[in-house]
A and B are shown apart, each in its own frame.
Chain A
């Protein structure tokens, strides 16, 4: 859990240029972290690379928050 969150956090910090302190499980990419739709698509693409997995379009659309991403990755690793 901690390790997944750490890796996800690093990607979000790099991609969205937000401060690590802003990244909480309940934080929404768009509402809280200032991402636009394309940023979220790119985040998902980077998560796929980082965790070596393929996330379908259907599943990707459900990933809206940091917690969604962490949960998805843990369930599919």
Chain B
């Protein structure tokens, strides 16, 4: 029997990058998956199609995680279509990089809304059904920079550090109801987000990684599957660093 047989997962920001791989990997391990996206409908549908070809259930659902009504609608539709939600992966995120001194209010607000408030709204909306079923797994995707800081990313870093604090509090509030809440902090993972960096910057970055290479989306997805499975049932409130050894 597969690790996640019969489980239902909702992955936000699942059309691309790390989120896409998380959705696929959860499905490979037996889960049915709701594939949330904000803008990339075709890519989201491709993910859902791949999951269906594995013999699992999947559907796409458009929602902006920073919008309360859309989030509540997303949770309701997922439960209507797939029966319940066992696993929530808060992955949706954006960057609007700028030096602090140049950063505009809307650059700050956009990133905080999607990357931090989005986690709050989605977690709040899913908590109700997880509390009732007396079980659930919430996995938040933070970032190495939420721990180390990073020039040019004050908004992103503040949001990702916030996610770690939110993870700990949610873990404490929901522990008595059989719900675990953990975070994963990826290091430099090869995605559209890192492809934008110049080769020089990429080489410079690799020098800081003990394992001397960028991670792949699967490296993160594998840890998410672990946290979603019974293997991790005695862990909550933790942040797992999956970064080639950068944070020790």
| Residues in A lying within 8 Å of B, measured CB to CB | 38, 41-42, 45
The reply to whether the CB of B131 lies closer than 8 angstroms to some CB of chain A is: yes
Residue of A with least CB distance to B128: A45
Query: What band does the interface of chain B fall in when counting residues whose beta carbon is under 8 Å from A?
Result: under 10
10 A/B residue pairs, CB under 8 Å, sorted by A: A38-B131, A38-B173, A38-B176, A38-B177, A41-B131, A42-B131, A42-B132, A45-B128, A45-B131, A45-B132
Q: Which residues on A sit within 8 Å (CB–CB) of B131? A: 38, 41-42, 45
Q: How far is the CA of A41 from the CA of B132 in the complex (A)?
A: 11
Q: Which residue on chain B has the smallest CB distance to residue A48?
A: B128
B residues near A (Cβ < 8 Å) are 128, 131-132, 173, 176-177
Question: With contacts defined as CB atoms under 8 Å apart, how many contacts are there between chain A and chain B in the complex?
Answer: 10
- Pick the 4 closest A-B CB pairs, nearest first: A45-B128, A42-B131, A38-B176, A38-B173
Docked CA distance A74–B131 (Å): 26
Residues of B near A41 (CB, < 8 A) are 131
Which B residues are in CB contact (< 8 Å) with A45?
Answer: 128, 131-132
Closest chain A residue to B173, Cβ basis: A38
Determine how close the nearest CB of chain A comes to the CB of B146; give it in whole angstroms: 27
Provide the bound-state CA to CA distance between A42 and B131, in Å.
Answer: 8
Complex CA gap A35/B211 in Å reads: 50
